[in-house]
Amino acid sequence: MALHSAWKARECCWSFIRALHKGSAASSTPQVPEHTQLSWILSCMVRLPRLQHLHQWKAKTAKQKHDGTADLLTYPVLQAADILLYKSCSQSTNVPVGEDQVQHMELVQDLAQSFNKKYEEFFPVPKSILTSMKKVKSLRDPSAKMSKSDPDKLATVGITDSPEEIEAVTDFTSEVTYEPAGRPGVSNLVALHAAVAGLPVQEVVRRSAGLDTARYKLAVADAVIEKFAPIKREIEKLKLDKDHLEKVLQAGSAKAKELAHPVCQEVKKLVGFL
Positions annotated as catalytic residues are 60, 145, 148
Query: Quick one: which of 89, 43, 45 has its CA closest to 70?
Result: 43
- d(C-alpha 73, C-alpha 184), whole Å: 30
CA 29, chain centre distance (Å): 21
Q: Does residue 192 sit in helix, strand or coil?
A: helix
Among residues 50, 66, 49, which one has the least CA distance to residue 58? Answer: 66
Task: Tell me 136's DSSP state.
Answer: P
H or E element: which one contains 94?
Answer: strand 94-96
Please list the residues that pair with 137 across neighbouring strands. 145
Name the residue among 60, 54, 53, 228 with its Cα closest to residue 144: 60
User: Which residues 6+ apart lie within 8 Å of 166 measured at CB?
Assistant: 157, 221, 224, 225, 228
Give the C-alpha separation, 247 to 39, whole Å: 27
State how far the alpha carbon of 153 is from the alpha carbons of 5, 157, 187, 225, in Å. 21, 8, 20, 17
Which amino acid type is present at position 213? Answer: T
